[in-house]
Structure 1
């Protein structure tokens, strides 16, 4: 039986002199391209104006990237970034938090809905959920290629030895004993949302169910993840779990009120 998987993948896909193309950046870009294509096709199928998808793409990419960056800096490493505010702009050095991206995306799409579609923001989110799922899957694949955000040790045969990770080497490869860890990036990457049984007719239902599934799973998976920052050591619920709770509650609210919600504002 397979004991573990030795994960020894170079996070850099291509080097051209001093220029590096990393898997992580590529997957972010690919996720947004696929999401745009999915949203554009759906709007066209439903007969909405051609420029809706173009405007939506700008709103989504700006809010998601800015929100994810600010979320990481504010929620996870404010002690450092508060003292070095210009470092917040150096996004190429890494540090993006999905919760920050989601919060910013909700705010941006509320504004977009009022100015462009004149429909409920949850009507819009119901149509974006499949695309959002694709972006999330791409980002988690990028985390896997970076050998980051992995879980605690496991004896299961699909445990990964992240040999390129300094964190894994320091924690789980000592005294000649290598411990395989949960590939939590793959667990989170496996979540996808889709339309079935006409559920899109109940405004907000698909979004609510998706929030409940995704962030409920995130809440549970955090129990087998390593702390992302030192402040999380010893916490009963870590930062990611506390940030997941309001989104889970929002999902429950959307589910129970979906039958009463109107399409327009």
Structure 2
């Protein structure tokens, strides 16, 4: 392996200590969730504090309600993300070991499950406080990309969700036997740092696009349009990056090394692509409807 980057000496834990029989550790993944949620709250509070961005100068809620929305979102992210991982990726194993579902600290969260959970939580919030759903969805679309960026950076630090083997000069030799096991390769296997691809596309680039259309083009004045941009952008980015990301082990077999859950001859779709296609279709449909509607 002439061109490859050794994985940096990073620990998944920021620090840990033990008191008596109890051990405590702060992990980068948990910190990414906390900072991402707080950053999202900050963005929503700033957005609803700027009436000119909204239809008729009326934000969908006040800054205090944004804090209440955060509580609902946290519940949606945790419950939806965990149940999504259980149902979308390893249902049979978790049905045989139901107690393992509660062990969140061992990892296993699904973005698509978390998205469903957040949508459900947002709808319940809107019903509870009597606010319109479309502009609240736009608020959440504005706020989500920092958390996506930090979450993918944490995936990289954890040396998880790595990509397929590559001979490109920026390939990374991730630690662990599974990551380094590539057919016909001796001395370590370099893989795409697909976590960083996702951080750049789903976090930085998509966040910049959403900020531009929301603030510069004033698309928040057309309720739902920014949400359509998020669904379209995330769906397209995830479908693209899945071509570089190693498929989950439970989907990989000797006759299906690419881990396709839908086979189309020599081609196929991974689980991530299957789950992202409805997002892409929904986003395009929302954009088609809202772009026909004049801004308020």
Shift of 1:29: 1.2
How far apart, CA to CA, are the structure 2 residues paired with 1:116 and 1:150? 41
1:157-236 to structure 2, matched below 5 A, reads: 157-163=169-175, 165-169=176-180, 171-172=181-182, 176-190=186-200, 191=202, 192=207, 193-194=210-211, 195=214, 196-233=216-253, 234=256, 235=260, 236=268
TM-score (norm 1): 0.90
Runs of 5+ in structure 1 lacking a partner? Answer: none
Residue by residue, what CA displacement relative to the aligned partner does 1:90-117 show, whole Å, maximum 9, x if unpaired?
Answer: 1111100000001111121122223225
1:233-248 to structure 2, matched below 5 A, reads: 233=253, 234=256, 235=260, 236-248=268-280
How far apart, CA to CA, are the structure 2 residues paired with 1:138 and 1:150? 16
Alignment root-mean-square deviation, CA: 2.2
1:16 aligns with 2:17: yes
- The 8 Å contact of residues 150 and 182 in structure 1, kept in 2 or not, is answered as yes
Q: 105, 124, 145: which is aligned to 1:92? A: 105
Aligned to 2:43: 38
How far apart, CA to CA, are the structure 2 residues paired with 1:176 and 1:208? 46
Aligned CA distance change for structure 1 residues 138 and 3 (closer, same or farther; 3 Å): same
Aligned to 1:126: 138
TM-score (norm 2): 0.81
- The 8 Å contact of residues 142 and 226 in structure 2, kept in 1 or not, is answered as no
How far apart, CA to CA, are the structure 1 residues paired with 2:282 and 2:83? 21
Shift of 1:259: 4.0
1:251 aligns with 2:283: yes
Residue by residue, what CA displacement relative to the aligned partner does 1:12-37 show, whole Å, maximum 9, x if unpaired?
Answer: 11121332211111111111111112
Partner of 1:223, secondary structure, is: coil
Question: Which protein, 1 or 2, shows the higher relative CO under an 8 Å CA cutoff with sep ≥ 6?
Answer: 1
